[in-house]
Structure 1
Amino acid sequence: MSEPPVSPAEPARIAPEEAARLAEAFRLFNAASAELTEAYGALEKQVASLTEELAQANGELRRQYEEKARLTDRLSTLLNQLPAGVVVVDGNGVIEEANPAALDMVGARPGAGWGASAARLLPADAPAEWDCTGENGQPRRLSMNEAALAGGNARIVLLHDMTRQHALKIAAARNERLAAMGEMAASLAHQLRTPLAAATLYVGTLLSREMAPADVKSIASRAQDRLRHLERLIRDTLMFARGEVLGREAIDVAALVDELQHTVEPVARQAGVTLTVTPPSAGTVSGDRKAVASALVSLLENAVQACVGGGEVGLSVDFAGNEVGFVVRDNGRGIPREIQERLFEPFFTTREDGTGLGLAIARGVARVHGGDIECESAPGAGSRFTLRLPVQTPEEVVLENGQ
């Protein structure tokens, strides 16, 4: 017997287990929805916070950019207005940057090779200075310094226009020499009168009476000695008055010392003095070779003459930093302190046949080359004279050789 059919109006009945599972699902869904809503709210807050931070960061970056732009503009204006030339050269020798002053001085242009501009620089008659012709065709005197830039092989070259300073230095040196010549005019007259009077007396004796040939030769020799002394005095006076370097060349220190040894050794041997020369290491100075050699010969001859009855004279070279010192020492009689203060005065001498200009000229030669002469001495303890000159830098050697 079959069951009666269900009426359509009667709702379907759900089992209790299914109702419980459905209710649990709705609860979990509601909980997840609540968590998602909470997470979304937190995310919205975080996005708002990040947006605010990003806006602040963008504002700070914009401020920094504007500040750097202003700084760049200022530096660019300053670089363009600088009277000194500034050139940035990369590792391949190509100019990366150059200001108008560098263009005016040596024709330095960005993208061009630095070698073409450096070829314009010719060694001048003073250390670390160079002569060149500017873009306007006028001669100029420049000084140059280089420094490596961090983070690569690039370097920066600084060029300073020394034209006016050089002219003022020449004028000051000339005025100083004129003043010195004026002060020593009276002394010069006395120095000239003494040997001239002696020579005149000797010649007058020869003319006034008959004499034996041996006496004639003796008096003529004395007159000739006085005339030679007069000639040396005039020559040294002219050299002191000129007081300038006639040329500039690279001077090999070892070759110069060898030349000095060959020049002074016969003089020392004749005086019974031992000359000891210490060969120097490699080095180069720049200047007038003849003038430097003459100044050192004067120091060595003075040292030989200070060794009475034999003695020893030494010549050595001392390299210290950017200087080279030519050291001339002797074990002679020494020089009292009160005399040391006047050693370099024109016409001051302690020798009867001296002109008093040798040391003055030697100091003038040293100073015009950017150096000086120092004296250390004590009675009975010998003397030590050191002539210091600037060492020629590798950059100066390269430019002087035209490379």
Structure 2
Amino acid sequence: MNAPLTPPLDAAGLAEAFQVFARASEELTQAYGGLQQQVGVLTERLDLLLEALPAGVVVLDNHGRVEQINKAASAMLGSALVGSDWQPFAARMLVASDTPGEWELASAEAECRVSISETALDRSGGRIVLLHDVTEAWRMRRAAARNERLAAMGEMVAGLAHQLRTPLASALLYTGHLANTQLAATQRADVAGRAVERLRHLERLIQDMLIFARGEALGREAFGICELIAELRHTIEPVAARGGVVFDTDCAAGTEQVFGNRKEIAAALTNLLENALQVLGEGGRVLLAADLDGEAVRFRVRDDGRGIEPAMQDRLFEPFFTTRADGTGLGLAIARGVARAHGGDIALWSEPGVGSEFTFSLPLIVQNEVARTEELAA
């Protein structure tokens, strides 16, 4: 049995239907207009918020082009950035600094450092790049490090006077003997040698003082960690062999690199190695090793000597504190200064009768920043 057919609408029904449709269309139009007004208000507020933010904001579309840039970002990067490709621009303008996660602006007239973070826009496929100006924080860190060095130098003035007076008095005494015409040639040569040795001690002390006072590592470059280990092996191995000490090296850092003053870092590690050799007798062992610890490299200098008493461990890094008669007491203080100037530090583990281990840590600045630069330029 067929279903009954729907009766056709008469003219009155059609008119009523059109009136209902017209009212619904008007309500939808009003609702859409209200939504547009709300969107306009929100957009205006968002624009005001972006302009008021102290951080730089760069909005990228799904092709990596700059859609929008706020006032703070314009001040950092320039206002003609909208519509350009972000990655080539960032690779050209952002230069890796000596601090992980911080970048220098190549176009800035004055020193300017920024940190960068990115957030993906899931639906549009774009990204928001935030640039935080950390210049003042960096300057404060640098000033604090300088003030710390100045404070340490103030504390060492009295010790410096004593350290200089003793070898100087000895040198004056020996050179005074040279005026004695009754001295035999062999005695004169012996006195002259002693005077020269004391003067060289003075020269070494003054040189260490200048390095400690400067504090900052200048002339930085990228160099391989294992390359430095190999270089130090060639330098130290003959010295260890003459003293009957077994010297080993081990590098588990692969091709990783650091960024810093190679000469000063090598000198700091050499100082740690020479200290280890001096406390060992024949048959002792010294190990120089390097391994990775997260985003840092650890250079470890370990010996199986007599160890260091706990009461003495806290004083080892004090300027002019030394347990050797011919020591300046600045070697470990300088080594710690070099490590801190590169964003790292030195730690000590020691147990009497077992041995000691100094850990010289540096951040893997180059590895992180090169990877970041390559990502920006991709």
Structure 1 CA distance, aligned partners of 2:142 and 2:345?
18
TM-score normalised per structure 2? 0.82
- Read off the aligned partner of 1:75 and give its amino acid letter: L
2:237 to 262, 265, 269: 265
Structure 2: stretches of 5+ with no match in the other structure: 10-15
Alignment CA distance shift 1:89-1:201 (3 Å): farther
Deviations 1:213-268 (A, max 9, x none): 33333332222221111111100101111111213322221212122222222222
Partner of 1:231: 203
1:192 to 155, 164, 168: 164
Greater Cα shift, 157-166 or 367-376: 157-166
1:117-132 equivalence runs, <5 A: 117-132=90-105
1:84 to 47, 55, 60: 55
1:373 to 346, 366, 370: 346
Structure 1: stretches of 5+ with no match in the other structure: 1-30, 38-43
Tell whether the 8 Å contact from 1:334 to 1:380 is kept in structure 2 after alignment. yes
Alignment CA distance shift 1:164-1:207 (3 Å): same
Partner of 2:68: 97
Tell whether the 8 Å contact from 2:339 to 2:360 is kept in structure 1 after alignment. yes
Structure 2 CA distance, aligned partners of 1:393 and 1:272?
38
Partner of 1:292: 265
Greater Cα shift, 212-221 or 255-264: 212-221
Residue 94 of structure 1: how far off its partner (Å): 3.2
Tell whether the 8 Å contact from 2:271 to 2:331 is kept in structure 1 after alignment. yes
Partner of 1:138: 109
Deviations 1:120-154 (A, max 9, x none): 333434444333355xx522321333436254875
Local SS of the residue matching 1:140: coil
Partner of 1:315: 288
Residue 349 of structure 1: how far off its partner (Å): 0.8
RMSD of Structure 2 on Structure 1 (CA): 3.5
Residue 63 of structure 1: how far off its partner (Å): 7.5
Alignment CA distance shift 1:319-1:96 (3 Å): farther
1:26-105 equivalence runs, <5 A: 70-89=41-60, 93-105=64-76
Residue 393 of structure 1: how far off its partner (Å): 5.4
Local SS of the residue matching 1:257: helix
Greater Cα shift, 297-306 or 137-146: 137-146
Tell whether the 8 Å contact from 1:250 to 1:286 is kept in structure 2 after alignment. yes
Residue 333 of structure 1: how far off its partner (Å): 1.5
Deviations 1:55-109 (A, max 9, x none): 79x96x8887766655444333222222222334567553343322222213371
The one of the two structures with greater contact order (alpha-carbon pairs below 8 A, sep at least 6) is: 2
Partner of 1:22: none
Structure 1 CA distance, aligned partners of 2:225 and 2:126?
32
Alignment CA distance shift 1:285-1:146 (3 Å): farther
Tell whether the 8 Å contact from 1:313 to 1:331 is kept in structure 2 after alignment. yes
- Using the aligned pairs only, state the percent identity: 49
- Read off the aligned partner of 2:324 and give its amino acid letter: R
1:337 to 310, 314, 318: 310
Whichever of the two has the greater Rg, that structure is 1
- Read off the aligned partner of 1:149 and give its amino acid letter: A
Greater Cα shift, 251-260 or 120-129: 120-129
1:348 to 321, 337, 348: 321
Structure 1 CA distance, aligned partners of 2:373 and 2:239?
35
Structure 2 CA distance, aligned partners of 1:394 and 1:67?
48
Partner of 2:134: 162
Alignment CA distance shift 1:90-1:245 (3 Å): farther
Tell whether the 8 Å contact from 2:284 to 2:304 is kept in structure 1 after alignment. yes
Partner of 1:392: 365
Tell whether the 8 Å contact from 2:273 to 2:301 is kept in structure 1 after alignment. yes
Partner of 1:221: 193
Structure 1 CA distance, aligned partners of 2:183 and 2:52?
83
- Read off the aligned partner of 2:296 and give its amino acid letter: E
Deviations 1:36-58 (A, max 9, x none): 99xxxxxx9xxx9xx99x979x9
Greater Cα shift, 312-321 or 244-253: 244-253
Structure 2 CA distance, aligned partners of 1:357 and 1:153?
56
Structure 2 CA distance, aligned partners of 1:393 and 1:87?
26
Partner of 1:304: 277
Partner of 1:41: none
Number of aligned positions between the proteins: 363
Residue 314 of structure 1: how far off its partner (Å): 0.6
